[in-house]
A and B are shown apart, each in its own frame.
Chain A
Amino acid sequence: DAGVIQSPRHEVTEMGQEVTLRCKPISGHDYLFWYRQTMMRGLELLIYFNNNVPIDDSGMPEDRFSAKMPNASFSTLKIQPSEPRDSAVYFCASSLLFWWQFFGPGTRLTVL
């Protein structure tokens, strides 16, 4: 079975550009999570969805970040406009049981 799929795996962009990260969760999973990993702050939860509905977005750093889940098999995390401090690895995870989260391979974002 396919795991969590994220695209792109690597993204390099210039400051001010819009960035869209994509995630396809494991089929049948009700929960979808977006995390960000940096050396300074470690792994942080940005937002999570349950049955396509955003439940907790308190980790979203600011209005430049937005996430959507239009259906059970797809989610996006958008940054507009991007800034160098947004450079990080962004993980998507999904789960059937909230606590047993399966992580995707991550998207390494570099904002120049």
Chain B
Amino acid sequence: QSVLTQPPSVSGAPGQRVTISCTGSSSNIGAGSDVHWYQQLPGTVPKLLIYQSTNRPSGVPDRFSGSKSGTSASLAITGLQAEDEADYYCQSYDSSLREVFGGGTKLTVL
């Protein structure tokens, strides 16, 4: 059981918008810790998708965006494409546990 809670799965049709939530607490996200998001395509290495809650590394399409409010963060994907089907993980710093990952969310493109 991770201290960062993500829904196990989300789904959407091509072209739609989906969001993935990451709920923490006052010892991590609520304390102002940065939230980062990773995309893990099937059979591949996790890749940094969003850093500092809202920033995209070079090469990440602007269809991916992040936000943070209070003790939660969200990843939004607009214009859903088949190649977006992957596992997504949030990650933050916790004052007790140090670096923590969410349990991961499997995105299915219908």
Q: Do A and B bind each other?
A: no
